[in-house]
A and B are shown apart, each in its own frame.
Chain A
Amino acid sequence: AQSVTQLGSHVSVSEGALVLLRCNYSSSVPPYLFWYVQYPNQGLQLLLKYTSAATLVKGINGFEAEFKKSETSFHLTKPSAHMSDAAEYFCAVSDPNFGNEKLTFGTGTRLTIIP
């Protein structure tokens, strides 16, 4: 079985500050890992995904995440927060045997940007 744990259900950062959203995974096989963003009253949008290639993955809107096997982590970062980054962020894991088809999501982290 696979699972992800997102540390911190709410994170607040000042505009222009570093964004760091934490995700740790549990998987019996080398996983695929994803970050999705959900704006209010909208569906989820893929930010980035790790599929066993480069461990540092760059996504849309200036976000990136680094796969660290030794720490079983896949934390999401952005060097400088923008007001438009305020949203809910979900980390997800899948078994590579199922590709993108069987995603297990974390409980989400709500990001608030302080002007």
Chain B
Amino acid sequence: EAGVVQSPRYKIIEKKQPVAFWCNPISGHNTLYWYLQNLGQGPELLIRYENEEAVDDSQLPKDRFSAERLKGVDSTLKIQPAELGDSAVYLCASSPRGETQYFGPGTRLLVL
């Protein structure tokens, strides 16, 4: 069974530019999570989806971050415009509802 797929794996952009990350969850997993992991820190939840509905986006900085999960499968996380402080690893995870989360390898973002 394929795991959680994320792309790109690495991204380098100039500040003020837009950037998007893509996540394909494990087949059949209703719940999808986006996490932010700063260097030397644990992951912090940005947003959680149940199917196509964002059920917890309280930690998502909505002035510059947006996310969508069309058709309740793949998801995209966008930052516009990116700031230097957004340099981090963005992790996607999925799970059957209420069950163990499975994490993807992450996208490592560097904003110059």
Interface flag for B44 (CB, 8 Å): yes
Interface flag for A44 (CB, 8 Å): yes
Interface flag for A71 (CB, 8 Å): no
Q: Is the CB of A9 within 8 A of B40?
A: yes
Q: Is the contact region of chain B dominated by helix, strand, or loop, or is it mixed?
A: loop
Q: Is the CB of B31 within 8 A of A43?
A: no
Given contacts A42-B105, A43-B106, A44-B103, contact A108 B42 (CB under 8 A): yes
Complex contacts, B42 vs chain A, CB 8 Å: 90, 92, 105-108
Complex contacts, B79 vs chain A, CB 8 Å: none
At the interface with chain B, which of A11-19, A62-70, A77-85, A94-102?
A94-102
* Tally of A interface residues using CB under 8 Å: 20
Q: Give the number of residue pairs across the A-B interface with Cβ within 8 Å.
A: 54
Q: Determine the interface band of chain B, counting residues with CB < 8 A from chain A.
A: 20 to 34
Interface flag for A55 (CB, 8 Å): no
Complex CA gap A100/B56 in Å reads 14
Complex CA gap A42/B45 in Å reads 18
Given contacts A101-B31, A103-B45, contact A43 B104 (CB under 8 A): yes
Q: Is the CB of B100 within 8 A of A100?
A: yes
Interface flag for B85 (CB, 8 Å): no
Chain A residues at the B interface, C-beta cutoff of 8 Å? 9, 36, 41-46, 49, 90, 92, 99-103, 105-108
List 16 interface pairs A-B (beta carbons < 8 Å), by A numbering.
A43-B93, A43-B103, A43-B104, A44-B91, A44-B93, A46-B100, A46-B102, A92-B42, A99-B99, A100-B99, A100-B100, A100-B101, A101-B48, A101-B98, A105-B43, A105-B44
List 20 additional contacts besides A9-B40, A41-B9, A46-B101; criterion CB under 8 Å.
A36-B103, A41-B105, A41-B106, A42-B106, A43-B93, A43-B106, A46-B100, A49-B100, A90-B42, A100-B95, A100-B99, A100-B101, A101-B31, A102-B45, A102-B56, A103-B43, A105-B42, A107-B40, A108-B40, A108-B42
